[in-house]
């Protein structure tokens, strides 16, 4: 106990002498931002927008985004140099302040990932390839041509993957060494995500007010109103818009875990209502589930009686409004529910899933996967050959990981999710009321990944948002880092010299 107290005092003095962790936190966030860049594909200019392709207009030129392409060298080279430089600087600063070197266990896992992905990058077939898949709809063979996986694409893809994964391992390894300033930074990030969601809602009303009002009339039973399914605000698609609103909901409840912020419930309600209005069904259903489960948790958590009364009143109000809404639209309820459950959701996704699974026709792809660029391109061409619409994702995060990285990549993903489940189980043993919200949110995102590809694998950096606003606070529930006795003596000597 005496040694531990001495270690804590020494750590406190070290932080004070080194002006705290502010610079380290800034570097940490820069690493996360750059890691997101590694998940992007290619950007190319066009004279006009292209159907079914995401993009944006810049200086009267349409810049379209193609995830199935390798990153541009103009993005790739500066990003790699900057990331590696900041990474070593970050590790050096943390070592100077805490004596923490990279964990040899996590370093071993990282080395294994490097070897596996390197084998995949160099062993994928060279030159133009023709794949034959058994098309599940007609039970007939379909030939899909892929133009080849160039050496530069292999190098860029491999490097992007490795550096992207390194951020997660570094974050898990070093988060516990930070002072409370990191917790403050995470809270600020959660507020930023909430503000981003509100900003998208405001932009949606500015850009698509007519469509939003029309959808509201449609839901209220107006027979003349038509459902607008393309409301996307400033994002590229309504599903991306809905994803950001769901992240805002999760951020609200993450902030409520340790502090009572009743006004956040209002923002959650706004997010859920707009998920419904923009016809983003998966985020709407899951955000509603989070709302109900976590509010029930508030009722059972030890707190003041007045706050419990508030919770009961709010839930009762939501239920009452729901009943009134159902009464108002009772005449059109059947047709609305039929449309909401139409083949644009489940049936279409099932078709994507069966297409993706039919691509696993060789032991090599079972083990190593196609790699990001070959999978996205081949799957897109496969869709084009069978249904005239090219789509580069299986609309399922787990299948995307399986097809991109093989069963080995899927095992790494399961290991990461298992680690967070383990942390939740440990937290349950200490405080069940604190662990329950984490379990609800992790379960929600796991379900979300069945229908959307945004949370797993190399997907536009969106999984880093969830990692920062939810997973890192979960890791923060464990004890802080303890320097070794030998390192403690060295740090104490340095302090004595400074004094």
The domain locations on the chain are 179-342
3-class secondary-structure state, position 45: strand
Our measurement of the distance from residue 225's CA atom to the centroid of its chain's CA atoms, rounded to an integer in Å, reads 35
Q: What gap in Å lies between CA 256 and CA 295, rounded to an integer?
A: 10
- pLDDT score, position 495: 46
33 vs 74: CA distance, rounded Å: 17
Q: How far apart are CA 328 and CA 180, in angstroms?
A: 50
* Distance in angstroms (rounded) separating the CA atoms of residues 434 and 253: 12
Contact 193, 185 (CB under 8 A): no
**CA distance linking residue 403 with residue 271, whole number of Å:** 33
* Predicted local confidence at residue 108, as pLDDT: 92
The CA distance from 315 to 420, in Å, is 30
For residue 92, the model assigns a pLDDT of 93
pTM for the whole structure: 0.82
CA distance 287 to 197: 13
Q: Which residues pair with 58 in a beta bridge?
A: 61
The two counts, helices (H) then strands (E), for the chain are: 19, 5
d(CA 353, CA 347): 10
For residue 204, what pLDDT is reported? 92
In this prediction, residue 197 carries a pLDDT of: 93
172: left (phi over 0), alpha (psi -120 to 50) or beta: alpha
Q: What is the pLDDT of residues 52-82, one digit of tens each?
A: 556 666 666 777 777 777 888 888 899 999 9
As a whole number of angstroms, the distance between CA 39 and CA 59 comes to: 25
* CA separation for the pair 70, 67 (Å, rounded): 8
Which two three-digit tokens encode residue 95? 């070592």
Query: Is residue 66 within a helix (H) or strand (E), and if so which, with residue range?
Result: strand 61-66
DSSP 3-state assignment of 338? helix
Enter the tokens of residue 398: 């787990």
Report the run of H or E that residue 130 belongs to, with start and end: strand 129-135
Instruction: With beta carbons less than 8 A apart as the criterion, state whether 391 and 352 touch.
Output: yes
Closest CA to 411 of 369, 350, 439: 369
**pLDDT value at residue 16:** 44
Which residue, among 402, 393, 416, 429, has the nearest Cα to 467 in the 3D structure?
A: 416
From the list 5, 3, 13, the residue with the least C-alpha distance to 495 is 13
Task: Decide: 225 and 218 in contact? Cβ < 8 Å.
Answer: yes
Per-residue pLDDT of the chain (499 residues; tens, 9 = 90+): 444 444 444 444 444 444 578 899 999 999 999 998 888 877 777 666 555 556 666 666 777 777 777 888 888 899 999 999 999 999 999 998 888 889 999 999 999 999 999 999 898 888 888 888 888 878 888 888 888 888 888 899 899 999 999 999 999 999 888 888 888 898 899 999 999 999 999 999 999 899 999 888 887 777 677 888 888 888 878 888 999 999 999 888 888 776 667 678 889 889 999 998 898 888 888 888 888 887 777 676 655 555 566 667 766 776 776 666 666 655 555 555 555 555 456 667 888 888 889 898 888 998 999 988 899 889 988 888 887 677 888 888 899 999 999 999 889 888 888 888 999 998 888 877 778 888 888 888 888 988 888 888 777 778 888 888 888 888 877 654 455 555 555 555 544 444 4
Rounded to a whole number of angstroms, the distance between the first and last alpha carbons of the chain is: 25
Mention every residue, 6+ apart, whose C-beta is less than 8 A from residue 400.
356, 375, 393, 394, 453, 456, 457, 459
């Amino acid at each position: 106990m005496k040694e531990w107290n001495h270690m804590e005092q020494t750590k406190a003095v070290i932080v004070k002498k080194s002006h705290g962790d502010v610079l380290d936190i800034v570097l940490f966030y820069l690493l996360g931002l750059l890691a997101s860049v590694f998940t992007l594909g290619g950007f190319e200019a066009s004279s006009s927008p292209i159907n079914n392709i995401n993009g944006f207009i810049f200086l009267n030129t349409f810049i379209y985004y193609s995830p199935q392409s390798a990153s541009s060298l103009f993005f790739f080279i500066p990003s790699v140099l900057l990331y590696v430089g900041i990474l070593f600087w970050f590790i050096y600063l943390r070592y100077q302040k805490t004596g923490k070197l990279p964990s040899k266990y996590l370093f071993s896992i990282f080395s294994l990932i490097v070897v596996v992905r390197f084998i995949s990058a160099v062993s994928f077939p060279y030159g133009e390839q023709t794949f034959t898949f058994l098309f599940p709809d007609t039970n007939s063979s379909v030939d899909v041509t892929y133009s080849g996986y160039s050496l530069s694409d292999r190098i860029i893809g491999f490097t992007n993957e490795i550096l992207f994964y390194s951020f997660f391992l570094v974050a898990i390894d070093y988060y516990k060494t930070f002072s409370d300033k990191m917790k403050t930074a995470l809270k600020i990030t959660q507020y930023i995500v909430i503000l981003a969601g509100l900003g998208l809602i405001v932009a949606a009303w500015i850009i698509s007010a007519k469509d939003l009002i029309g959808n509201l009339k449609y839901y209220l039973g107006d027979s003349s109103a038509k459902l607008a399914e393309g409301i996307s605000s400033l994002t590229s698609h309504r599903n991306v818009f809905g994803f950001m609103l769901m992240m805002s909901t999760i951020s609200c409840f993450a902030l409520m875990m340790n502090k009572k912020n009743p006004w956040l419930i209002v923002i959650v309600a706004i997010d859920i209502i707009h998920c419904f209005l923009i016809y983003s069904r998966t985020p709407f259903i899951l955000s509603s589930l989070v709302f109900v489960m976590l509010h029930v948790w508030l009722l059972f958590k030890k707190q003041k009686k007045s706050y419990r009364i508030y919770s009961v009143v709010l839930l009762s109000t939501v239920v009452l409004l729901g009943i009134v809404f159902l009464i108002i639209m009772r005449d059109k309820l059947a047709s609305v529910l039929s449309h909401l459950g139409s083949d644009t959701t489940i049936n279409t996704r099932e078709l994507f899933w069966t297409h993706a699974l039919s691509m696993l026709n060789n032991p090599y792809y079972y083990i190593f996967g196609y790699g990001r660029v070959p999978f996205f391109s081949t799957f897109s061409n496969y869709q084009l050959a069978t249904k005239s619409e090219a789509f580069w994702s299986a609309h399922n995060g787990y299948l995307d990981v399986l097809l991109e990285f093989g069963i080995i990549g899927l095992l790494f993903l399961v290991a990461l999710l298992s680690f967070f489940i383990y942390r939740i189980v440990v937290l349950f043993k200490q405080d069940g009321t604190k662990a329950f919200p984490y379990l609800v949110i992790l379960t929600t995102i796991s379900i979300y990944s069945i229908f959307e590809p945004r949370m797993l694998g190399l997907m536009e950096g969106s999984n880093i948002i969830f990692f920062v606003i939810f997973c890192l606070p979960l890791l923060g529930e464990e004890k802080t880092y303890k320097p070794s006795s030998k390192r403690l003596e060295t740090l104490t000597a340095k302090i004595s010299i400074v004094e």
